[in-house]
Amino acid sequence: MAAPGNPFVGATYGSALRWLADQFGPREALVFGGERYTFAEVKRRVDEASRRFEALGLRPGDRVALWLPNRPEFLWCWLGASQIGLITVVLNTRLKLPEVRYQLAQSDSNALIIPGRGSFRDFPAEIAELCPEVRVQSAQALATAELPGLRRIVTLDTGLGWPGLVEWSPFGRATEAAAPPAYAENPNEPALISYSSGTTALPKGALITHCVWRKAFDIGERADLTSEDRLYLCIPLFGSMAMMNGVLPFWARGASVVLAERFEVREFLRGVSQERCTATHFLPPMVESLVASSERADFDLSRLRLGWVLSSERRILELVAHDLAVPGMMTGYGLTETTTVLTRNRWDDPLETRITTQGYALPDVELRVVDPESGRDVATGDTGEIWARGYCITPGYFRKPEESSKALTPDGWFKTGDGGSLDETGRLTFRGRLGDGYKSRGFNVSPAEIEAVLLEHADVEAAAVVGVAHPRWGQVGIAFVVPVEGRAADPAELAKYLKPRLSSFKLPELITCVSELPLTAGTGKIQKFVLRAEGERLLAGRLAVSPG
């Protein structure tokens, strides 16, 4: 049965945004710097974005990639594209150019939205490096050799004057008399592609439908969200935690979102205090910085009721609950492929329960814990692979049929690749990845992806990467490299080689050269448990010399 009173069951992006404007029109929906937007104003700007996409000649099913930092236009473009049947592709702003190239090509994106030069990196210059045609070709006839499907590149800030760029003027100039866009009507169609590295060598683009709104409302139930709540959001908007588990759950309740460009200790303290925020998301480095801040006593954080923590490490969770005094410290369990969280505790459950478990399945979500070899359910309390089924499960990975068929069973169960257990009441405890993947600085990391880049280096014969626990970053990668015979692979040079090719959170904390990798007799598989133990020893030695 669906959750009683959920107004978004069967909703599309378009119908959900209409409902919000009708229900909460004059209420404040978004704060960014000195700008404030009501729900009615949000609706107008999202519709304006839709009309701009239509004017570019984009049609339902086309892919629009957003490579944008935190700013309101991210929301206008995401929602404006998805509500008219376009598929929004969200790109991590930390990606290096080869990673951007891969995701744009794999998604076959037809349009790309970037900021101007007034950001933390020069997005236009990097895109021009990838697609030099943008400097000389007409925007109306853009054809790029690297990305043949890319027909439009849009910058949100004017003044570059490159012929191949479409420069959009600021939003908010549309009039009420403008014709409404053509809203998508099928809630089961994909509306979003979000890339998740998982544990394969190359990232996979998970397809997400309009169900984000239904899930958003249910996420708010166990936090008792109301229209009086206010979210301080400083984690990156491109992440599913900020989009589907941040903005939308609050908007679905008529609550406000205070958006920041990034996390800075003083700005966080000032923003939460002055905007009377009741909720936020915490990454482990944020927690460490806030706990260490001598300025915390100068600000009133007493209204901060809820803290969603992107960690399962007890020490970090206790710091939020005790040192930062957030009564509703919460975790949960979910993946991008499951439209974020599948389970939640209640915000006021006993603290030990919230620290050690991830809660019960949300409405209309089924969970199983199975033996990954046989597919049979394990006994209550035993650890196995978490499987999930329900309306919020991805229909598959974009243009990756083999990976999709491996992840989804014919009867709709999604194999998460994560280990966990269910108690006799159905409460889930997450035990960690069953495979090699790990999470560093709040992001999933695929060792195979790092290994593939290392193997491209002329001095590297073999490579293996493992994730080990780190007191500040959750987990970090330790890379073991076997040099080509007759060559001397230098760890410092290899680290320099990786830096422009991988996002910062994927870079190994340590690179060490070995004569051979430990292999299992008969199968030849790398014994990563042996490397993991050695990695823990090496990291402990480094931290003892230079803590943190």
pLDDT tens, position by position, 348-368: 999 999 999 999 999 999 999
- Per-position b or e across 224-256, b if 16+ CB within 10 A of its CB: ebeeebbbbbbbbbbbbbbbbbbbbbbbbbbbb
- Cα–Cα distances in angstroms (integers) from residue 367 to residues 151, 210, 404, 480, in the given order: 42, 22, 19, 37
Phi-psi region of 322 (alpha: psi -120 to 50; beta: other; left: phi over 0): alpha
Tell me how far apart the terminal alpha carbons of the chain are, to the nearest angstrom: 48
User: Which position has the token pair 């890339």?
Assistant: 195
Write phi, then psi, for 167 (nearest 5 degrees).
Answer: -100, 115
| Rounded CA separation 336/388 (Å) | 13
DSSP reduced 3-state for 399: coil
Q: Tell me, what's the pLDDT at 435?
A: 74
Show the DSSP H helices in 391-527 as ranges. Answer: 401-407, 447-454, 491-498
pLDDT over 70 (residue 1): no
Residue of 285, 267, 303 lying closest to 32 (CA atoms)? 267
Cα separation, 204 vs 153, in Å, equals 23
pLDDT band at 452 (very low <50, low <70, confident <90, very high): confident
Amino acid at 420: G
Decide if pLDDT at 11 tops 90: yes
Contact residues for 16 (Cβ-Cβ < 8 A; gap 6+): 8, 210, 213, 252
Phi, psi of 418 (to 5 degrees): -105, 150
Residue 307: name the closest of 316, 296, 297, 315 by CA.
Answer: 316
CA distances (Å), 466 to each of 284, 360, 519, in order? 20, 31, 15
Q: What distance in Å separates the CA atoms of residue 466 and residue 448, rounded to the nearest whole number?
A: 10
Whether 199 has a pLDDT exceeding 60, the answer reads no
The yes-or-no verdict on residue 231 having pLDDT over 50 is yes
Is it the case that residue 217 has pLDDT exceeding 70?
Answer: yes
Tell me: pLDDT of 422 over 80.
yes
- What φ, ψ does residue 92 adopt, rounded to 5°? -65, 130
The pLDDT assigned to 548 comes to: 59
pLDDT level of residue 2 (50, 70, 90 thresholds): very low
Q: How far apart are CA 495 and CA 352, in angstroms?
A: 41
Check: CB of residue 471 under 8 Å from CB of residue 497. Answer: no
∠ CA 375-377-379 to the nearest 5 degrees? 145
pLDDT of residue 200 exceeding 50, the answer is: no
Name the DSSP class of 346: -
Short-list 447, 444, 392, CA closest to 414: 392
Nearest to 443 by CA among 244, 219, 198: 198
* Residue 232 DSSP label: E
Instruction: Please give the model's pTM, rounded to 2 decimal places.
Output: 0.86
**Whole-number CA gyration radius for the chain:** 23
**φ/ψ bin of 58: left (φ > 0), alpha (ψ from -120 to 50), beta (otherwise):** beta
Cβ-contact 505, 441 below 8 angstroms = yes
| pLDDT score recorded for residue 3 | 47
List the one residue out of 199, 197, 103, 93 whose CA is nearest residue 443. Answer: 197
Distance, CA of 204 to CA of 194 (rounded, Å): 8
Q: Mean of the pLDDT values across residues 479-492?
A: 93
99, 280, 475 from 93: Cα distances, Å: 11, 21, 21
Domains along the sequence of the chain with CATH: 13-22+33-192 (3.40.50.12780), 211-433 (3.40.50.12780), 438-545 (3.30.300.30)
Residue 522 predicted with pLDDT over 60? no
Q: Using 50, 70 and 90 to split pLDDT, how confident is the model at 538? A: very high
Q: Which of 220-234, 327-341, 397-411, 431-445 has the lowest mean pLDDT?
A: 431-445
Please give the structure tokens belonging to residue 276: 């009377």
Rounded to whole angstroms, the Cα distance separating 2 from 289 reads 41
What does the pLDDT average to over 329-343?
A: 96
Rounded CA-CA distance 16/7 in Å is: 9
Average pLDDT, the chain: 93
Q: Among residues of the chain, what percentage have pLDDT more than 70?
A: 96
With a cut of 70, say whether residue 547 has pLDDT above it.
no
